[in-house]
Amino acid sequence: GLNTTVREGDEIMLYPALAGGAPPLDETEVHELAIEFEDKTAHDVLRWAIENLHPRLYIAWSGQVEDMVLLDMAWRINPAVRVFTVDTGRLHEETYRLMEEVYERYGVRIEVYFPEPSDVEKMVKEHGVNLFYRSVELRHLCCYVRKVKPLLRALSQVDGWVTGLRREQWASRHNIMKLEVDHDHGQIVKVNPLADWTEREVWQYIRENSVPYNQLYSRGYRSIGCEPCTRPVAPFEDPRAGRWWWEKDAPKECGMHCSIETGGFEKIADKLI
C-alpha cells in the first residue's frame, strides 16, 4: 500500500487516489498536481514522491550531477530510498567508481539492470561491437538493446520514477512538467523535481552539500552517457552536443525519455537483429 502519513505541521497534500491505495494516478490527478508543483521546490516534490510511492519508487541514476543531487536529497528524506541504473556494458570507468563512492558515502547500493546477454551477442555478431558509428538506425538499435529494454524491465517493478531531467537541457525537454504520466512505461508516474533548475543551481547544490560527483566533469564533460558515445564539449557548446556528436540533426536522445521518431525501437530491432 501507499504511505499517506502526514506529519503534524506538514503542509498537507493528501490525494484521494493515493489514500485509496490505487496507483498509478490518472491523467487528471497528475495534471492537477503538476500545476500545483510548479511553485514547489525540488525538495517538496521529491518528498511528496517518496512519501506517497516508496518503496515502489525508483530514482534513476546514470552518474550525472543531476542524479547525484536527487540521490543526496532523497537520502536525506529517507535513507532507504531506492536507486537504479542501467549498466549498458559501455560505461566510463569513472561512472563505476562513482557507484562505489555512493555506497561508501550513503550506504545506498544502486540496483543495476543489465541488457539481455543473448540480445547483445546477437547484435554484436551481426553488426560488430561499435555499430553505433555506422548509422543512426544502428545507434538506435544499440540504445534499444543496451538501455531501453533493461529500463523497461526496471520500471515494470515500480509505480513511479524520479529523473534529473531539466527543461534547459534540450529542446525536447522544454515542456516537461514536474509530474507526468509516463506513457512509454506502463502509465507509471514520472517525477522531474529539477525541471526548472539551471546547470548553475545543480553545481551550487553539489558544492554546498559536498556531494560526490563524476570525475569526467573535471575533464570537460557536461553530459554523461556511454563511453564511446559521449565526449567533452567546449564551453560555448550546448552541453548535450557531446552526445552522439557525429549525428547531425538527430535527436540527442536514447529513447529512455522519449520514443525517437523512427517508427519505434521494436520495429528497428526486428529488422536489424
CB 147 within 8 A of CB 254: yes
Residue, CB closest to ligand SF4 = 226
Q: Which of 47, 54, 82, 146 binds ligand SF4 (CB under 6 A)?
A: 146
φ, ψ of residue 84 to 5 degrees: the values are: -135, 160
Quote the CA–CA distance of 63 and 68 in Å, as a whole number.
7
CA–CA–CA angle 89, 94, 98 (5° rounding): 100
Residue 258 assigned ligand-binding role: no
Q: What is the 3-state secondary structure (H, E, C) of 134-151?
A: CCHHHHHHHHHHHHHHHH
143 binds ligand SF4 (CB under 6 A): yes
CB of 258 to ligand SF4, least distance (A): 14
CB of 139 to ligand SF4, least distance (A): 5
Quote the CA–CA distance of 4 and 14 in Å, as a whole number.
7
142 binds ligand SF4 (CB under 6 A): yes
As beta bridge partners, residue 160 has: 57, 189
Q: Which among 151, 254, 260, 269 is annotated as catalytic?
A: 254
190 binds ligand SF4 (CB under 6 A): no
Residue 142 assigned ligand-binding role: yes
For the annotated catalytic residues, the residue numbers are: 254
Q: Which residues bind ligand SF4 (CB under 6 A)?
A: 88, 90, 132, 139, 142-143, 146-147, 225-226, 228-229, 254
Binding residues for [4Fe-4S] cluster: 142-143, 226, 229
